[in-house]
């Protein structure tokens, strides 16, 4: 591991490569085992004001209030066991991880995302996959791992080492939100079969099929026009019917005094058996949800700049397929973007950063106009050893709904202080 921790270390751990570079290496016969992980905890103070918005992705939970918590940040606590070997001219590997939370409370909203792992509870199991391949033709992954679409957005988010947004009662869960829902969609952890190409002078790509999910509506906590789902969203069953979801990404990275990376990714899935909002049982047919994104990050003389933009049709906001369709089964458009600037101080290696982003869901004719989540964050990430960082962040988030029935506007401000350890 490098003498000074960086966001790249966190990204590598979150990505869960089957051959991690920073763990405890153990020879075991034909195998080399790698035990690695993350332990982190933060004291957070969150004050909220204004209207109640939504359970996930909105800025507030119960209007005007203040909460103090000790919780895990955006990265989960993480214990990963990986293994690799060379057999029959193939590189073979596996990764299995467990992810316990650091908090002692449970917000009780673990089923807020019925498709994925959920946000509630203090224990998750995010990875269980095998890989096989060769440097000459690439590798194949089978099992559960970080999704492909929008994965680079979260891996380049500076709050990966910290907390970001801690509102909505999420402090009792396995992780906080970071910038999820205020700048990019959550890639989530998905069952998948994926192919990754070799690295051709900095260029590589990944394509795969992932488990299809249902579209759904998140619960409305309060404010004007409360209805099933945030705005009366249609739901679906059948998890895509006979079709999986399709995802892919391509990236080009370069090194040197002016180093950087550009990437783009996509998502496409059939939405099967759309049903009227509120469970009315009216069959609205099927549709196809799709999304794409593009991003870049560059680093020169201690300065770093990241820019990201994504756009979706029927994919909803914050979490894939949440509120992607209106009550009549028509797809809603959405977009996400964030900008981030960092500077690493020579000598102590302290990284200072500031970022701003927003996620926007557009209503269709006859419903709300826009639902927008925004957040700006300032942070300091200081390595006191080669494995341990101290972190201080301040995040200010806002959720706004513009609708004929009445506007909704909620705000939250989170101060977080803590530490993150890699091994």
Closest among 343, 331, 323 to 228, alpha carbons compared: 323
In the chain, the percentage of residues whose pLDDT exceeds 70 is 80
Looking at residue 64, its pLDDT comes to 67
Residue 54 within a domain: yes
Q: What is the pTM of this model?
A: 0.88
Sorting pLDDT into bands at 50, 70 and 90, what band is 3? very low
- Computed over every residue of the chain, the mean pLDDT equals 84
Classify residue 72 by burial, with Cβ atoms within 10 Å: 0-12, 13-18, 19+: buried
Assigned token pair, 216: 């759904």
Please give the Cα distance from 114 to 385 (Å, whole number).
40
Task: For residues 30-34, give the mean pLDDT.
Answer: 94
Residue 268 above 70 pLDDT? yes
Sorting pLDDT into bands at 50, 70 and 90, what band is 66? confident
Check residue 13 and give left, alpha or beta (phi > 0: left; psi -120 to 50: alpha).
alpha
Residue 200 within a domain: yes
pLDDT digits (tens, 9 = 90+) for 94-120: 999 988 766 554 443 334 455 554 444
Residue 1 above 50 pLDDT? no
Looking at residue 5, its pLDDT comes to 42
Contact between residue 173 and residue 120 where contact means Cβ atoms under 8 Å apart: yes
Looking at residue 60, its pLDDT comes to 52
Least confident of 38-42, 155-159, 229-233: 229-233
Q: Domain range for residue 159?
A: 7-422
Please give the Cα distance from 37 to 401 (Å, whole number).
39
Please give the Cα distance from 165 to 176 (Å, whole number).
7
More confident residue, 54 or 292: 292
Contact between residue 106 and residue 84 where contact means Cβ atoms under 8 Å apart: no
Residue 1 within a domain: no
Q: Per-residue b/e over 93-110, b at no fewer than 16 CB within 10 Å?
A: bbbbbbbebbbeeebebb
Task: For residues 151-177, give the mean pLDDT.
Answer: 80
Report the domain count for the chain: 1
Please give the Cα distance from 148 to 122 (Å, whole number).
25
Domain of 224, CATH number, reads 2.40.160.10
Task: For residues 264-291, give the mean pLDDT.
Answer: 87
Instruction: Give the CA diameter of the chain.
Output: 68
Residue 397 above 50 pLDDT? yes
Residue 369 within a domain: yes
Contact between residue 353 and residue 158 where contact means Cβ atoms under 8 Å apart: yes
Sorting pLDDT into bands at 50, 70 and 90, what band is 125? confident
Please give the Cα distance from 13 to 22 (Å, whole number).
8
Sorting pLDDT into bands at 50, 70 and 90, what band is 168? low
Task: For residues 339-352, give the mean pLDDT.
Answer: 96
Closest among 211, 212, 206 to 192, alpha carbons compared: 211
Looking at residue 283, its pLDDT comes to 83
Residue 184 within a domain: yes
Question: Other CB atoms closer than 10 Å to residue 285's CB: what's the count?
Answer: 9
Please give the Cα distance from 331 to 27 (Å, whole number).
52
Residue 16 above 50 pLDDT? no
């Amino acid at each position: 591991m490098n003498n000074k921790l960086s966001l790249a270390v966190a990204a590598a751990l979150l990505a869960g490569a089957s051959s991690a570079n920073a763990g405890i290496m153990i020879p075991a016969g034909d195998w080399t085992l790698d035990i690695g992980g993350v332990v982190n905890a933060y004291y957070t103070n969150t004050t909220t004001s204004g209207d109640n918005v939504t359970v996930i992705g909105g800025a507030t939970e119960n209007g005007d209030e203040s909460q103090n918590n000790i919780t895990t940040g955006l990265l989960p606590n993480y214990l990963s066991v990986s293994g690799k070997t060379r057999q029959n001219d193939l590189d073979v590997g596996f990764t299995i991880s467990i992810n316990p939370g650091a908090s002692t409370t449970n917000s009780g909203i673990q089923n807020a995302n019925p498709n994925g792992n959920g946000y509630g509870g203090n224990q998750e199991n995010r990875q269980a996959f095998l890989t096989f391949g060769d440097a000459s033709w690439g590798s194949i992954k089978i099992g559960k791992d970080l999704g492909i679409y929008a994965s680079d957005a979260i891996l380049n988010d500076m709050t990966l080492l910290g907390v970001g947004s801690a509102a909505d009662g999420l402090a009792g869960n396995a992780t906080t939100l970071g910038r999820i829902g205020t700048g990019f969609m959550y890639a989530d952890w998905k069952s998948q079969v994926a192919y990754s190409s070799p690295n051709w002078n900095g260029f590589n790509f990944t394509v795969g099929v992932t488990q299809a999910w249902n579209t759904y509506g998140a619960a409305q906590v309060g404010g004007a026009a409360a209805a099933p789902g945030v705005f009366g969203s249609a739901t679906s069953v059948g998890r895509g019917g006979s079709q999986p979801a399709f995802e892919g990404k391509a990236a080009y990275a370069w090194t040197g005094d002016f180093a950087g990376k550009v990437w783009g990714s996509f998502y496409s899935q059939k939405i099967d058996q759309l049903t009227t909002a509120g469970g009315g049982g009216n069959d609205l047919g099927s549709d196809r949800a799709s999304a794409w994104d593009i991003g870049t990050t560059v680093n020169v003389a201690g300065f770093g700049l990241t820019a990201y933009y994504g756009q979706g049709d029927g994919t909803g906001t914050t979490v894939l397929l949440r509120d992607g369709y209106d009550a009549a089964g028509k797809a809603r458009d959405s977009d996400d973007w964030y900008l981030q600037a960092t500077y690493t101080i020579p000598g102590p290696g302290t990284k200072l950063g500031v970022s701003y982003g927003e996620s926007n869901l557009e209503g269709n004719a006859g419903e709300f106009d826009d639902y927008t989540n925004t957040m700006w964050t300032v942070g300091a990430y200081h390595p006191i050893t080669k494995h341990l960082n101290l972190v201080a962040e301040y995040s200010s988030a806002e959720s706004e709904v513009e609708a004929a029935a009445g506007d909704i506007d909620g705000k939250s401000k989170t101060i977080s202080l803590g530490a993150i350890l890699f091994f």
